[in-house]
Structure 1
Amino acid sequence: MQNKYPDLYSLLESDGEARQYFDTLPEYVQECLRDRAGGVNSFESLCDAVDKYTRGDD
């Protein structure tokens, strides 16, 4: 079962894997995630949000 956190900031503080992944993202994606921090509460939701924000970047 995935750990759930109150928001993106709690996730990044508590989950080293999520922090490492977040740090590799382009700045514009990080900013989008910060703008919607309340909706990101697990590593899975982080990955889903990144997929959404980077769709079409290929």
Structure 2
Amino acid sequence: MGPKYNGLYELIENDSEADDYFDNLPDYVKESIYEREQNINSFDSLRDYAANLMRNE
């Protein structure tokens, strides 16, 4: 498990792998993640949340 951040913006600012991953997500997934950005505090949580959203398409 990687480092924890204070939210999505800090995560993608400090983790280039997370930034690349986020950039390649579909727009509807990004919008949902933006709404809960304070809960996304690690690359693992970003991947898990995005996977859940895409699984429920």
Common fold: TM-score over 0.5: yes
Hey, what does 1:29 align to over in structure 2?
29
Letter in 1 for 2:45: S
Alignment of 1:1-58 (within 5 A): 1-57=1-57
Gaps of 5+ in 2: none
Aligned length: 57
Deviation, structure 1 residue 5: 0.1
> Identity rate of aligned residues, in percent?
46
Structure 1 vs Structure 2 CA RMSD: 1.0
Separation of aligned partners in 1, 2:56 and 2:19: 24
Gaps of 5+ in 1: none
